[in-house]
Chains A and B, each alone.
Chain A
């Protein structure tokens, strides 16, 4: 009788409606935003390598942010990108934004505003945003590497590149010191069309892509990656936190979320084994 009750309870638990699970998820995500836990976390070696590489860039370096950054994955990739912008904003480092996706035209200026980059840096002299060029990155990237002004005649606002001081000494790949990518899947193009020119690449990538892109790092095509939102939180910690602290806030939610998922999976497995023993599965 007792066993039957136990089996009925487990059976009911395993058939729990997803809406209840989603409700708890929502609470676990929102709660740490209102009441932050500030759980401590260590800095991964990959994030440290990214930070140190950027830190060691000589003054006057030119960085191209060329990727397919978009809003769909903004919580995964933007924390690290905003932290990167914070790291370089008080140094003499030029930033050229070359969008490889129509969404990047909006996404990257948004990140610039969030990081307060536009308040300390002068547009046209210290940073610039170029137009999105249709045709695919396999067309635009080789052309960009060979002749930036030939491919992009004007910036996003229609100003000819020759009139922008940032382009006084920037013509092609020889003048680029670092390429950063905050996109989800533009890395495939970058390793084909940027890496052969020996321009170091750093990717602020989605966690799901992180293991997939490891061969590029091992082959020396990409210098380093940050691992999704966790990498973003670590980068924020290294630069001394950013205005929004997207990564750090999300780490608290991720803490609770991962514990919750783990508990659910353990419960589901215990229930399945009990029902299996009782011959119900």
Chain B
């Protein structure tokens, strides 16, 4: 009985306690519910902070074990741990996130690595376009044409060869593409409502019940 209470009923009760006031305070202006929701949001922020700290501990423990057991790629574990502690020390020593020194470090190391990583897509797109954008059938040809209309529409030379190109490209994005996007957004939202309803009615237990 205690197992059922602990694994099944308690998580569900907690979910309902948090869910009902949050949902109703969104649609109705009831001071008590608003106050309760406000408090719950504060708790959620605290949980978020705790989760971040747990994540940090997790990274350290995981990489420590990888190094200790000399698992494949343990060298990257050393690199990760050194970096984690370097950033923590730098943040504490230089006076926190707002300090110019920390910001410079962040911009010139982390940010540049991230930008470079995304920048690689520019190169991969070239080789991918060369290898895959081939009109082997009618569907591929249609895809090819519709991919290149906004691609050329964004380029200044597109409007030089035909002044109506940007407008045509915008029309494709604002109408044809929007119809597809709208369908996806609406379907995803309806799916979300269905999922929440299933959780509330206890048809869906995956997220709440362990084991």
- Whether the Cβ atoms of B181 and A268 lie closer than 8 Å is no
Residue A239, interface by CB 8 Å? no
- Whether the Cβ atoms of B114 and A71 lie closer than 8 Å is yes
The one of A40, A106, A133, A254 that contacts B45, using a Cβ cutoff of 8 Å: A133
Of A4-12, A57-65, A171-179, A207-215, the one touching chain B: A207-215
Shortest distance in angstroms between B86's beta carbon and chain A's nearest beta carbon?
16
- Whether the Cβ atoms of B118 and A73 lie closer than 8 Å is yes
- Whether the Cβ atoms of A210 and B157 lie closer than 8 Å is no
- Whether the Cβ atoms of A259 and B126 lie closer than 8 Å is no
* Known interface pairs A21-B130, A136-B44, A265-B129; A105-B157 also in contact (CB < 8 Å): no
Q: Which residues of B contact A42 (CB under 8 A)?
A: 159, 166
Q: Is the interface of A mostly helix, strand, loop or mixed?
A: helix
* Total B residues in contact with A, Cβ cutoff 8 Å: 60
- Whether the Cβ atoms of A264 and B181 lie closer than 8 Å is no
- Whether the Cβ atoms of A230 and B154 lie closer than 8 Å is yes
Residue A261, interface by CB 8 Å? yes
Residue A72, interface by CB 8 Å? yes
- Whether the Cβ atoms of B52 and A72 lie closer than 8 Å is no
Q: Which residues of A contact B126 (CB under 8 A)?
A: 18, 21-22, 25, 260-261, 264
Closest partner residue, chain B, to A132 (CB atom): B97
- Whether the Cβ atoms of B154 and A268 lie closer than 8 Å is no
* Known interface pairs A72-B115, A272-B136; A261-B151 also in contact (CB < 8 Å): yes
The one of B41, B107, B114 that contacts A139, using a Cβ cutoff of 8 Å: B41
Q: Which residues of A contact B122 (CB under 8 A)?
A: 25, 29, 257
- Whether the Cβ atoms of B157 and A255 lie closer than 8 Å is yes
Residues in B lying within 8 Å of A, measured CB to CB:
34, 37-38, 41-42, 44-49, 51-52, 96-98, 103, 106-107, 110-112, 114-115, 117-119, 122-123, 125-127, 129-131, 133-136, 144, 148, 150-152, 154-160, 166, 170, 173-174, 177-178, 181-182, 185
Report 21 cross-chain contacts, Cβ distance below 8 Å, ordered by A residue. A18-B130, A25-B122, A39-B156, A39-B160, A44-B166, A72-B114, A106-B107, A135-B45, A136-B44, A142-B37, A211-B173, A211-B178, A214-B174, A218-B178, A228-B154, A255-B157, A258-B152, A258-B155, A261-B125, A265-B130, A269-B135
